[in-house]
Structure 1
Amino acid sequence: MTLSAVQRINCEVIEGDAIKARIFNIQRYSLNDGHGIRTVVFFKGCPHYCPWCANPESISGKIETVRRLSKCLHCSACLNDADECPSGAMERIGRDYSLAQLEKEVLKDDVFFRSSGGGVTLSGGEVLMQAAFATRFLKRLKLLGIHTAIETAGDAAPEKVLALAKQCDEVLFDVKIMDSEKAKSVLNINQPRVLQNLKMLVESGVHVIPRVPLIPGYTLERSNMAEILKFLAPLKLTELHLLPFHQYGEPKYQLLGRPWNMKGIAPPDVSVIAPLQQMAENAGFRVTMGG
């Protein structure tokens, strides 16, 4: 007798509960991380150090504790323990979830997925740092008929990238600095491997949407965009997301006590972005601004 889909899922819950992932945020009702209304799961830990990162709390793979001074009563009762803090000033960033626990959390939003054509997007940090968990988790969601996506820089072993991507309905794939030496020295990204992985996914039939962050001093250059479009041309992709730089992450750096390398850098004006958008459209892409 063969197991039903439900029975198979239940078996996986039992077998898979030992594996856990470290998550620092679950964002509900998102409209910018894939189609429809989505729940975005942010995985903690990233091997890259993009100066413009808007989620500095994602970089370390460790659970961190921060104190919000605006809430602090200076009562000494908490002893810097988030569990004991009476005002909620102490906050723990990061929590470990089993497959079953995380599935339970995202399924709270199932009605929104079904009504909007949305689903679950795994982001970070870099989800590939916890690829074994993420691959099994997305497999479970697909068995339940939930649309799945990941956001990734694609900088990992090809077999790891492909195994995870095969469980996705779409892959939002970041393409940043095209110059290999600059990508390595500034971002700690192996750009040749990233580009090879992107090409591999497309050739494997994975639905890939390239995303280009437009960052002053780094990627907001016609030459960089020209190189990106030249690389993408043979892949026959039709959709491209442009992500203009913003300053939304600055308060997080202050909270973590870390320097914000982009302090004082103004978000690019539409007049600066427009030529790059036109380049992409001239190359045949349907451009979405902001993802």
Structure 2
Amino acid sequence: MKTVDFMRFRHVASALSLILIVVSVASIAVRGLNFGLDFTGGTLLEVEYETPEPLDVVKRILDDAGYRDVVVQNFGSETDILVRMSEAFRDDLGNEVLGLLQESATDNKLTLLRSEFVGASVGEELRDQGGIAMLIALFVVMAYVAFRFQWKFSLGAVLALFHDVIIVIGMFALFQWEFDLNVLAALLAVIGYSLNDTIVVADRIRENFRISRVGGPIEIINESLSQTLGRTLMTSITTLLVLVALFFLGGDIIHNFALALTIGIGVGTYSSIYIAANLLLMFNISREDLLPPEVEEVDDMP
């Protein structure tokens, strides 16, 4: 098998990652995240149609009327539609929206089933819990990898995960894509996916350090990455095929979820090669770090 010289470009990769992190952090600090209804609060309406109405038509009508951050989805059946918007709740809002939709659907009979306020305090609680969940996940990852491998692998894996999450969040801040609970769930999924990829690479690096008698750390890491390259590419490509289908065909509700995962998997695959492995070189990984501890023999003779 041909060994690819991945580490030849490690300095270029380090510079690229540094630029992406700086841009991401600056975007988060300056532009902030465009939080969705789950975090900001707003209005939720449930409208029942006599016959099914295309969701894109309903959304276009409300967007053209000036309502902000409109999300339209079926709820239980094709004739039951759930409308979420960041419009401040008021008593007449439901009837106002119902009248607007009825004007555009003269051959259809509409009924307003409910109109209620979604509080921002719930969103803030969920946001805080989601952030805590990510921090706990990173801490558990660090503890597991340190126990399973070695502290240099642990620190490299966590920094790679931090790299992936910051870049995904930064892209959402830079382009002002809506950040909701679906995106938060995608970030947790990115952590799991990227960690799985990093663990596979780390396991092969550890084994090759133990069994190889020639070559330095750079050669051994290149050999390990080359051996896992086929598995990494096949996993990433098959996953991305599903996500692309969800992105284009999954509807508005799952659109940003698929987008965040697509970015995360792309960045995670890159970080498994050029962040986690590169950091091992920066930490001066050596065979001595990975040799199993010697067991002292106890002399039972008196």
TM-score for the superposition, normalised by structure 2: 0.23
The structure with the larger Rg is 2
Greater fraction strand = 1
Higher helix share: 2
Given the two structures, how large is their TM-score scaled by the length of structure 1?
0.24
